[in-house]
Structure 1
Amino acid sequence: MGTVAGTNKEANGSLLANKKVTVVFVLGGPGSGKGTQCANIVKQFGYTHLSAGDLLRAEQNSGSENGTMIKNMIKEGKIVPAEVTIKLLERAMVESENDKFLIDGFPRNEENRAAFESVTGIEPTFVLFFNCPEEEMEKRLLGRNQGREDDNIETIRKRFKVYLESSLPVIEYYNAKGKVHKIDAAKPVDEVFAAVKAVFA
């Protein structure tokens, strides 16, 4: 597995210009188990887990003007502008002591993907795609009820629709480059992680 994911040559003014990093994109629908598996990868393989959603939620609670805009967009089930998310990801990567990152839930669409590569000068080493049937994801989301205001059936269905329309082209793009590892995420957690481990090993 190549570790030099990007030497950031093309990155004009990227905050990451002096840092060589390995980036793995973790994609999958809401409720496909990305967060659980990322926690396992962190424990076993020493990656730093950056969740685009968590970074956006933290920013939204920070009271900044970006935060208010993010809050309204998330409530509507809309995708936050790429630049905002990329800046948050970049900042987190620069502030981290680590040089191996799992980026979870991003890029959300083709525009995100292109913007991430041009802003940071980084291409992912590979993409981990958690493939899970919609009925299963719906069942999991309604069951977890973590008090997130976007975990109700109406918003969930909106999120599925947005996810399908926007994320699949990203997966297809990287698939054409031979960078996608597709994981059957409907299986029990341990079996899913066994498949994940095989990819990292």
Structure 2
Amino acid sequence: MRMGTIADAANKEASGSSLANEKVTVVFVLGGPGSGKGTQCANIVQHFRYTHLSAGDLLREEIKSGSGNGTMIQTMIKDGKIVPSEVTVMLLLRAMRESGNDKFLIDGFPRNEENRVAFEAVINIEPAFVLYFDCPEDEMERRLLKRNQGREDDNIVTIRKRFKVFMESSLPVIEYYNSKGKVCKIDAGKPAEEVFEAVKAVFA
């Protein structure tokens, strides 16, 4: 199936599935690699009963499932192509419907303006707000190198590339929502406990 067809299939599956008329709360969680998003999302889930969805995890699960969609996604990634935004949005929508919850943290998404536009077009809702973990680059670098969980992408050259991609792709999304007064910026350079105190203040 060609790239156009995969996006068409995603649109077809998602059409009529917009969440616009349902009382759903979506919070986008953005921050550079090593900014502590994962740790804080786990805390929010525990304290505020949100469902945590990671676009990257959903794509990986779809590949593992061996479905037709999963095989196409895997081929595209292997070929160095970017998975169409509609496909990621379709996976998010499906996960939201299956969760039985009405409050969602969407982690590491939208990665870029195209993702943002696709999400709002297909799901037909805007986020309640964007939780932006703002962390100095040298601190994120230190954390990633220390973490080194056997992840081959945690070496200095790749880490810096990931920072660059985040700055170029995700900052325009943050700026867009900031212009609408929807960004809650958290100083993520502090110890995790202190960061969560600031997060709690936002959700309370």
Scaled by the length of structure 1, the TM-score of the pair is 0.86
Q: Which runs of 4+ in 1 moved over 6 A?
A: 75-78
Counterpart check, 1:35 vs 2:17: no
CA distance in 2 between counterparts of 1:189 and 1:75 reads 35
Mark the structure with the bigger radius of gyration.
Answer: 2
> 97, 105, 122: which is aligned to 1:119?
122
Aligned 8 A contact 1:26 1:105 in 2: yes
1:15-54 counterparts in 2 under 5 A? 16=19, 19-54=22-57
CA distance in 2 between counterparts of 1:32 and 1:55 reads 21
Gap change, CA 1:76 and 1:173, over 3 Å in 2: farther
CA distance in 1 between counterparts of 2:193 and 2:153 reads 27
**Corresponding residue pairs, total:** 191
Gap change, CA 1:83 and 1:41, over 3 Å in 2: same
Question: Unaligned regions of 5+ residues in structure 2, if any?
Answer: 1-13
| Larger mean Cα displacement after TM superposition, 137-146 or 118-127 | 137-146
CA distance in 1 between counterparts of 2:20 and 2:174 reads 26
Shift of residue 72 of structure 1?
A: 6.3
More helix by share: 2
| Larger mean Cα displacement after TM superposition, 137-146 or 43-52 | 137-146
Scaled by the length of structure 2, the TM-score of the pair is 0.84
1:72-87 counterparts in 2 under 5 A? 79-87=82-90
CA distance in 2 between counterparts of 1:186 and 1:71 reads 35
Which residue pairs with 1:63 in the alignment? 66
Identity of aligned residues (%): 80
Aligned 8 A contact 1:77 1:159 in 2: no
Which residue pairs with 1:88 in the alignment? 91
Which residue pairs with 1:6 in the alignment? none
Counterpart check, 1:145 vs 2:144: no
CA distance in 1 between counterparts of 2:72 and 2:139 reads 31
Aligned 8 A contact 2:18 2:124 in 1: no
Match of 2:96, as an amino acid?
Answer: M
